[in-house]
C-alpha cells in the first residue's frame, strides 16, 4: 500500500462536543441549553429539520439523551487516559456556555464551571495532549433562546463577548487552539442548533437566518481579536460543515445550480470569516430574497479585522444536485439535501460515503482561501456488535477512516497545508441529529443504549488499536 508523508507536526486526535459527552446537565450550577431540551428518537430529527418547536422539556413524552450523555463529566480521567493510550496529540472538545454563564446573560462567570474545564485541560496536558476548543457547539443557553430569540438578537453578541473574554483570560496558558462556532453554516438547515431559534414557517426563514449569521460573524470577529490580544501565540479558526456539491450531469443548468449551492452553503460563512467581507454573489441573493441586514456602524471594519487563522471543517459526505428534482429523488440521501449519487454507497443512516470528496474539499478550500486547514470532524456512524468474548470488530469503520486518511495524504501531496485530523466521536456519544447512542463513531465503545440503559462501561474496539498505530507511524501505517 502507498505510504503517505504527513507533516512532522501533524495534529492527530479525536473530536467531541460538551453536550454530546458530558452529561451532568444540572451539576456545578450548569444552566439549561438547547441540547438539553432536544428529545431522542425520530422526534428530534423532525424538530431539527421542520419548522416550529417550543423548547420545553416534557418527560412524560420524551427521553432526553444529552442529560447524562456518556457521563464524561465524572469519567473524564478514564477517557483521557484512553486517548493518551492511543497517542492523541490533540483532543477537540467544546466548552458548554451554560457551565460558565448558566443563563448566558449574567455579569459574573460561574466558578464551578470554570474549574471543571481547568481540571479537564490539566488532565489532557498531563499526557501532552493539546486541547482544541470549540467555543460554541450547538449548546446555546436556553435563556438566550427563550428571552432573547437566539442569535437574531444583537444583545447576544455582548453576552458572547463577555463569555469569550472570560475563557481567553482563564485558559490562556492551557489552550492554544480555538474555534468559534461549530459548523456555522449548519444554521441554513438546522437553525435550532446553530442559531438558537425555531423558524415557524419555511417562507419566513431568510431575514432572521441572515441577520443571525451577521451577529455570529460580528461575534466571531470580536472573539478572534480578543484571542489574538490575550493569547498571542494561540490560533483561532472558524468551523464549517463542508460537503462539496457535484452537478448530477453535464447539463449547464445543473452545473450552475450546483455552483450556487456550493457558494451559498459551503462558502458564504467562510468567505466572511476568512476573507473578512461579504462575498460578491450574496448581493443579488439578498436582493432577490428581500433580505435587508441590520448592521451597526463599524461592523464591516470589524469583520475585516477579525479574520480567522485557519479553517476547521467537518467532512462526512458530498452532495449531488440537480436543478429540477422530483420529491422522490430529493427525499433520498444525505441530511443536507441533494439527490442520490449513483456512484456512492451510503452509511446505515443514508450518508453517502465519498473519500475522494474529502480530497476535493481540501483542494477547493485551500485554493479559495490559502489558509491552513484542519479536518476537525470525519467518521462513520455505524451499529457495533459486542461479541461474546467482549471484542468489537469494527472493520467497516477502519475501512472508512483509512480511505479518508488516504484522501488527506493525497491532498497534502497536492500541496494543501493541513494542520491535523480529529475524527468525530472518538468515544461513542449522543448523535447530534438523531439523539441515538446506537449511531456509534468511536474507537472506544460505551455501554449506553437508545433507551438510556447501560452501565457506561468503556471498551476498546478493534479500531482503537488500528488508530494507535496510525498515529504512532504519523499516518504511514494505514
Interface residues with ligand BG6 (CB under 6 A) are 17, 20, 138, 182-183, 241, 314, 377, 381, 424, 431-434, 439
Q: Which is nearer to ligand BG6, 247 or 433 (CB)?
A: 433
Q: Please, what is the minimum distance in Å from the beta carbon of residue 430 to ligand BG6?
A: 7
Beta carbon nearer to ligand BG6, 90 or 166: 90
| Dist. CA 368–CA 52, nearest whole Å | 36
CA distances from 346 to 353, 354, 430 (A): 5, 9, 21
Which of 262, 352, 377, 436 is the catalytic position?
377
Active-site hit among 183, 261, 262, 410: 183
Nearer to ligand BG6 (CB atom), residue 267 or residue 433: 433
Backbone angle region of 270, left / alpha / beta, with phi > 0 → left and psi within -120 to 50 → alpha: alpha
* Rounded Cα gap, residues 409 and 195, in angstroms: 34
Contact between 245 and 265 (Cβ < 8 Å): yes
Nearest distance, CB of residue 373 and ligand BG6, angstroms: 17
Q: What are phi and psi of 449, to 5 degrees?
A: -125, 170
143-162 burial code (b ≥16 CB/10 A, e <16): bbbbebbbbbbbebbebbeb
- Nearest to ligand BG6 by Cβ — which residue? 433
Question: Shortest Cβ distance from residue 374 to ligand BG6 (Å)?
Answer: 14
Instruction: Answer whether 235's CB lies under 8 Å from 133's CB.
Output: no
Please name which of 33, 179, 35, 47 lies closest in space to residue 98, comparing C-alpha atoms. Answer: 33
The widest CA-to-CA distance across the chain, in whole angstroms, is 65
Q: Which is nearer to ligand BG6, 362 or 430 (CB)?
A: 430
Pairing assessment for the beta strands 345-346 and 235-241 based on DSSP bridges:
unpaired
Residue 216, C-alpha cell as written in the block: 455570529
Cβ 272 vs Cβ 217: under 8 Å: yes
> What's the rounded Cα separation, in Å, for the pair 319 and 92?
26
Q: How far is the CB of 255 from ligand BG6 (least distance, A)?
A: 27
| Residue 43 is a catalytic residue | no
Tell me if residue 297 is catalytic.
no
Cα 283 to the chain's mean position, in Å?
28
Cα separation, 127 vs 240, in Å, equals 29
What is the C-alpha to C-alpha distance for residues 255 and 446, in angstroms, rounded to an integer? 44
Residue number with CB closer to ligand BG6 (130 or 377)? 377
Q: Which is nearer to ligand BG6, 18 or 124 (CB)?
A: 18
Min separation Cβ 317 and ligand BG6, Å: 10
Active site residues: 183, 377
Amino acid at each position: 500500500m502507498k505510504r503517505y508523508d504527513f507533516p512532522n507536526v501533524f495534529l492527530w486526535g479525536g473530536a467531541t462536543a460538551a453536550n454530546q459527552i458530558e452529561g451532568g446537565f444540572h451539576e456545578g450550577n450548569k444552566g439549561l441549553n438547547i441540547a438539553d431540551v432536544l428529545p431522542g428518537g425520530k422526534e428530534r430529527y423532525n424538530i431539527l429539520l421542520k419548522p416550529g418547536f417550543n423548547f420545553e422539556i416534557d418527560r412524560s413524552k420524551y427521553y432526553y439523551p444529552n442529560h447524562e450523555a456518556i457521563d464524561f463529566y465524572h469519567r473524564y480521567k478514564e477517557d483521557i487516559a484512553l486517548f493518551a493510550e492511543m497517542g492523541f496529540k490533540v483532543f477537540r472538545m467544546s466548552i458548554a456556555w451554560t457551565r460558565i454563564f448558566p443563563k448566558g446573560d449574567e455579569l459574573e462567570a460561574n466558578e464551578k464551571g470554570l474549574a471543571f474545564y481547568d481540571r479537564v485541560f490539566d488532565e489532557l496536558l498531563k499526557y501532552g495532549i493539546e486541547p482544541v476548543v470549540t467555543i460554541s457547539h450547538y449548546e446555546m443557553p436556553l435563556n438566550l433562546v427563550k428571552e432573547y430569540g437566539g442569535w437574531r438578537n444583537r444583545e447576544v453578541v455582548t453576552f458572547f463577548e463577555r463569555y469569550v473574554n472570560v475563557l481567553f483570560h482563564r485558559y490562556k496558558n492551557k489552550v492554544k487552539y480555538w474555534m468559534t462556532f461549530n459548523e456555522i453554516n449548519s444554521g441554513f438547515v438546522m437553525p435550532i442548533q446553530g442559531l438558537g431559534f425555531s423558524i415557524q414557517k419555511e417562507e419566513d426563514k431568510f431575514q432572521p437566518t441572515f441577520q443571525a449569521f451577521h451577529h455570529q460573524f460580528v461575534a466571531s470577529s470580536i472573539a478572534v481579536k480578543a484571542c489574538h490580544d490575550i493569547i498571542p501565540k494561540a490560533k483561532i479558526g472558524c468551523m464549517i460543515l463542508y460537503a462539496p456539491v457535484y452537478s448530477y450531469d453535464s447539463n449547464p443548468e445543473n452545473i450552475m445550480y450546483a455552483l450556487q449551492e456550493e457558494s451559498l452553503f459551503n462558502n458564504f460563512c467562510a468567505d466572511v470569516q476568512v476573507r473578512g467581507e461579504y462575498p460578491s454573489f450574496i448581493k443579488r441573493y439578498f436582493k432577490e430574497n428581500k433580505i435587508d441586514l441590520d448592521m451597526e456602524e463599524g461592523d464591516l471594519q470589524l469583520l475585516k479585522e477579525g479574520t480567522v487563522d485557519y479553517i476547521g471543517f467537518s467532512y462526512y459526505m458530498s452532495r449531488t444536485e440537480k436543478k429540477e428534482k422530483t420529491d422522490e429523488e430529493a427525499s433520498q440521501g444525505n441530511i443536507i439535501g441533494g439527490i442520490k449519487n449513483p456512484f456512492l454507497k451510503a452509511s446505515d443512516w443514508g450518508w453517502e460515503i465519498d473519500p475522494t470528496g474529502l480530497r476535493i474539499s481540501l483542494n477547493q478550500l485551500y485554493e479559495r482561501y490559502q489558509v491552513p486547514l484542519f479536518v476537525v470532524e470525519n467518521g462513520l456512524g455505524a451499529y457495533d456488535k459486542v461479541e461474546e468474548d467482549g471484542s468489537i470488530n469494527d472493520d467497516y469503520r477502519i475501512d472508512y477512516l483509512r480511505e479518508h486518511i488516504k484522501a488527506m495524504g493525497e491532498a497534502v501531496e497536492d500541496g494543501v497545508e493541513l494542520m491535523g485530523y480529529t475524527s468525530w466521536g472518538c468515544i461513542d456519544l449522543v448523535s447530534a441529529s438523531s439523539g441515538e447512542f446506537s449511531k456509534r463513531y468511536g474507537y472506544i465503545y460505551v455501554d449506553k443504549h437508545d433507551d438510556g440503559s447501560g452501565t457506561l462501561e468503556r471498551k476498546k474496539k478493534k479500531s482503537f488499536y488500528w488508530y494507535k498505530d496510525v498515529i504512532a507511524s504519523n499516518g504511514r501505517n494505514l
